[in-house]
């Protein structure tokens, strides 16, 4: 690890100091911190000499504290420093990541209250991160945040790619509109969900992606969210200023802090190149280094699952239809009538194991294996699952042995139903069960409103829980893929056993009515800024009625687009989500899924436009192989793909999986063509992407 650390401690007489500037390493970004006359702290950000974030306030409102931490500050110290270090993640888009920023820490004293805070700014080439720090001190020990008052003042009515602000879910399709249109389009943007609560018709979630009329890209998000509540943004329409809006607990408070404490980092990325936004590691770099000593048990996973057939309604999670309700430990399932559609049965699981093993997959997820699925949803049920009791037709030991014999790891499923206390009561025994029966990773879920009632998925209470579960999992050498939990904000750097999250509108919604065809060209700019997404791609049968006649949903994507997702939707955890029988019909296309890597040495974002297209090339770790993916939005498009990222002097064979000439996400999604070509770093490929289409290429050294 190459480390250059230069510290410049600047002590100036601060009595009359009101403003201070900071530059990014390449000087393109300029930050100005300024204290107003009334002692309100503000910041301004410019890019290449043009203001991007106009003067924006900072501060926090406290409960039972009239003065709060909003104004009447004085600067008592400004420290600046530079940091430049390269580090290696356990897994990721790159094997080596540079962390290079200029930092400014401003100490703000509130004389009337004899207390102080620090606002720390880190300016990277691609963006700004800043946070509030509350050092240990006599006059600031315990305090409750009523709301945070951080502003992000936009300079014009930009185009935004947004979803409605919500305390419980991110599973919305994106709306592309001007900021001034958010209000009128808000209701339309709302679709139903098992758990949701909005707070304002101009509320939006992060990360928020924007593009100005001058072609500048701006992204707002947060990093290192822990022991705090999630930040949404609320637009003040007259001033086009976004204001932070934290998530309340059951009694309306936003966060409970004990000094010493820090807020999460608020991040602003700016570039005239959209690919810079996607390529940035700023969110990761703002997180603390890895805390897990031995990471040998943490490995990226390519998996299949007994799952999609339930999502489509072809099969059921529940074992029987006999029971109006279940009481775990009292309900005798052997006395009920099996419904005949319960997919998680030993024989069927073994079929999946056979297929997955034959095709080189690492793991198999099985949902619906455990008692309790008959009434798990919609009843605010507390003792809903115990995570250790299988249904009568799921033989844990037999499956464990069979999977082991086929070199398949079993992936556990813990649906919590949002009943957090119940999950924590069972967590140790649930993890011990996993260790005992060979489950190395767990997909956890939080479907439905959180229990304790009144709490939200994105409140401090639940956020504390999610990390508690991840840390405890590490004690048991278990990898975690948490669905419906808080969207990630880079904690995977500190806890690399957190290998996945959903926390956005994933592939399952294609079976719940479909998602917009350009959805996957937006997600990497929004949801994925803070971390990978278990998007569960790889659907080959777009007409869901073929799986379940009662479900007329359509997957708004071509097969080539589905293949591309393994490259464009970064995740160390990649699922081939469809049913084996659907793959069997397109084994040539399936070959790409078998070949594509899940862990990367390098990643090059070649071209990108939010809502339109993304093209990425990645080099697989410890190989000379490359994989390229393109996902396309509504408008058919041509790409001139230069392969100059390949190593000079080598020859490769490229296998290109592309949309057929007449492919279309809706009318002809399964039309693709596969071709091979000898290529080198000097080659250029001419490719066409259909509407909702794309292409995927594997490039193997020859």
Residues that bind a second copy (CB under 8 A): 136-138, 141-142, 144, 249-251, 253, 256, 258-260, 324-325, 327, 375, 379-382, 421, 424-425, 428, 452-455, 461, 464, 468
Residue with smaller CB distance to a second copy, 44 or 263: 263
Minimum CB distance to a second copy, residue 137 (Å)? 8
Distance in Å, CB of 256 to a second copy, minimum:
6
For 386, other C-beta atoms within 10 Å of its C-beta total 17
CA distance 540 to 562: 8
Distance between CA atoms of residues 538 and 565, nearest Å: 8
> Which residue among the candidates 371, 508, 541, 601 is catalytic per the annotation?
508
Omega prior to 207 cis, within 30 of 0:
yes
How near is the Cβ of 421 to a second copy at its closest, in Å?
7
**Residue of 566, 579, 578 whose CA lies nearest to 532:** 566
Beta strands in 367-484 (DSSP E): 409-415, 439-445, 479-482
Task: Please say which residue, 141 or 552, places its beta carbon nearer to a second copy.
Answer: 141
DSSP string, 94-157: -S-EEEEEEEEEEEEEEGGGTEEEEEEEEE-SSEEEEEEEE--BTTBSEEEEEEE--EEEESS-
Of 420 and 663, nearer to a second copy (C-beta) is 420
Provide the residue count of the chain: 702
Nearest-approach distance from CB 383 to a second copy, in angstroms: 9
Residue 324 CB, nearest distance to a second copy (Å)? 5
Cα–Cα distance, 190 to 185 (Å, whole number): 9
Closest to a second copy by CB, 354 vs 375, is: 375
Asked if 532 and 566 touch (Cβ cutoff 8 Å), the reply is no
Q: Which two tokens stand for residue 442?
A: 């767990």
Nearer of residues 136 and 337 to a second copy, judged by Cβ: 136
Contact between residue 458 and residue 228 where contact means Cβ atoms under 8 Å apart: no
Burial of 114 (0-12, 13-18, 19+ CB in 10 A): exposed
Cis bond upstream, residue 29 (ω within 30): no
Known active-site residue 508: yes
Please answer whether residues 505 and 466 qualify as being in contact, where contact means their C-beta atoms are separated by less than 8 angstroms: no
Instruction: Pick between residue 40 and residue 380 the one whose CB is nearest to a second copy.
Output: 380
Nearer to a second copy (CB atom), residue 5 or residue 142: 142
Contacts of 432 by beta carbon, 8 Å cutoff, 6+ apart: 476
678 sits in which H/E element = strand 672-679
Given a contact cutoff of 8 angstroms between Cβ atoms, the answer to whether 613 and 627 are in contact is: no
Terminal alpha carbon distance of the chain: 32
Complex with a second copy: residue 61 or 424, whichever CB lies closer = 424
Q: Quick one: tokens of 381?
A: 């049920």
Task: State in angstroms the smallest separation of the CB of 343 from a second copy.
Answer: 25
Q: Which residues are catalytic?
A: 508
């Amino acid at each position: 690890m190459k480390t250059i650390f230069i510290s410049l401690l600047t002590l100036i007489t601060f009595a009359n100091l009101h403003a201070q500037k900071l530059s990014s390493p390449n000087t393109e970004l300029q930050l100005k911190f300024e204290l107003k006359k009334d002692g309100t702290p503000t910041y301004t950000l410019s890019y290449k000499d043009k203001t991007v974030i106009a003067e924006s306030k900072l501060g926090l409102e406290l409960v039972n504290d009239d003065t709060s931490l909003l104004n009447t500050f004085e600067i008592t110290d400004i420290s600046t420093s530079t940091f430049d270090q390269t580090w290696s993640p356990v897994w990721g888009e790159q094997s080596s990541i540079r962390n290079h920023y200029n930092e400014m820490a401003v100490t703000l004293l509130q004389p009337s209250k004899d207390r102080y805070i620090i606002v720390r700014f880190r300016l990277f080439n691609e963006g700004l991160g800043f946070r509030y720090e509350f050092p240990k001190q006599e006059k600031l020990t315990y305090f409750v945040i009523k709301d945070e008052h951080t502003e992000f003042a936009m300079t014009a009515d930009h185009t935004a790619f947004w979803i409605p602000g919500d305390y419980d879910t991110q599973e919305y399709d994106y709306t592309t509109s001007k900021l001034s249109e958010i209000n009128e389009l808000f209701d339309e943007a709302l679709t139903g969900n098992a758990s949701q609560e909005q707070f304002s018709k101009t509320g939006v979630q992060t990360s928020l992606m924007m593009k100005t009329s001058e072609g500048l890209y701006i992204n707002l998000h947060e990093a290192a969210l822990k022991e705090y509540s999630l930040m949404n943004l609320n637009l003040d329409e007259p001033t086009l200023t976004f204001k932070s809006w934290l998530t309340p607990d059951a009694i309306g408070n936003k966060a409970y802090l004990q000094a010493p404490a820090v807020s999460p980092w608020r991040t602003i990325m700016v570039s005239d190149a959209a690919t810079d936004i996607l390529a940035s590691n700023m969110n990761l770099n703002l997180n603390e280094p890895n805390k897990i000593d031995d990471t040998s048990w943490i490995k990226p996973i390519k998996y299949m699952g007994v799952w999609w057939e339930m999502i489509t309604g072809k099969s059921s999670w529940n074992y029987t239809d006999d029971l109006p309700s279940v009481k775990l430990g009292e309900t005798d399932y052997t006395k009920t009538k099996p419904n005949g559609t319960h997919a998680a049965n030993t024989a069927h699981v073994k079929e999946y194991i056979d297929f997955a093993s034959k095709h080189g997959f690492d793991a198999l997820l099985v949902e619906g294996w455990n008692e309790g699925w008959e009434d798990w949803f919609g009843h605010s049920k507390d003792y809903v699952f115990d995570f250790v009791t299988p249904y009568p037709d799921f033989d844990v030991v037999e499956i464990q042995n069979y999977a082991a014999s086929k070199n398949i790891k079993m992936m556990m499923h813990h649906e919590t139903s949002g009943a957090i206390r119940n999950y924590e009561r069972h967590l140790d025994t649930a993890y011990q069960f996993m260790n005992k029966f060979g489950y190395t990773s767990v997909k956890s879920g939080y479907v439905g409103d959180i229990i304790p009632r009144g709490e939200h998925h994105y409140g401090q209470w639940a956020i504390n829980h999610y990390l508690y579960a991840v840390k405890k999992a590490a004690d048991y050498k278990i990898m975690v893929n948490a669905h419906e939990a808080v969207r990630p904000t880079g904690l995977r750097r500190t806890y690399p056993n957190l290998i996945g999250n959903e926390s956005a509108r994933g592939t399952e919604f294609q079976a719940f009515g479909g998602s917009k065809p350009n959805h996957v060209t937006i997600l990497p700019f929004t949801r994925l800024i803070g971390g990978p997404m278990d998007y569960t791609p790889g659907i080959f049968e777009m007409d869901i009625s073929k799986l379940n006649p009662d479900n007329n949903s359509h997957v708004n994507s071509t097969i080539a687009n589905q293949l591309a997702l393994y490259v464009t939707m970064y995740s160390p955890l990649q699922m081939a989500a469809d049913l084996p029988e659907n793959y069997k019909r397109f084994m040539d296309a399936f070959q790409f899924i078998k070949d594509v890597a899940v862990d990367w040495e390098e990643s090059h974002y070649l071209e990108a436009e939010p809502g339109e297209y993304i093209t990425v090339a990645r080099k697989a770790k410890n190989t000379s192989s490359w994989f390229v993916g393109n996902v396309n939005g509504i408008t058919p498009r041509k790409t001139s793909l230069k392969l100059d990222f390949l190593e000079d002097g080598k020859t490769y064979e490229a296998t290109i999986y592309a949309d057929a000439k007449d492919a279309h996400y809706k009318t002809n999604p399964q039309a693709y063509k596969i071709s091979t070509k000898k290529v080198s770093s000097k080659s250029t490929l001419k490719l066409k992407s259909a509407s909702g289409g794309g292409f995927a290429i594997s490039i193997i050294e020859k």
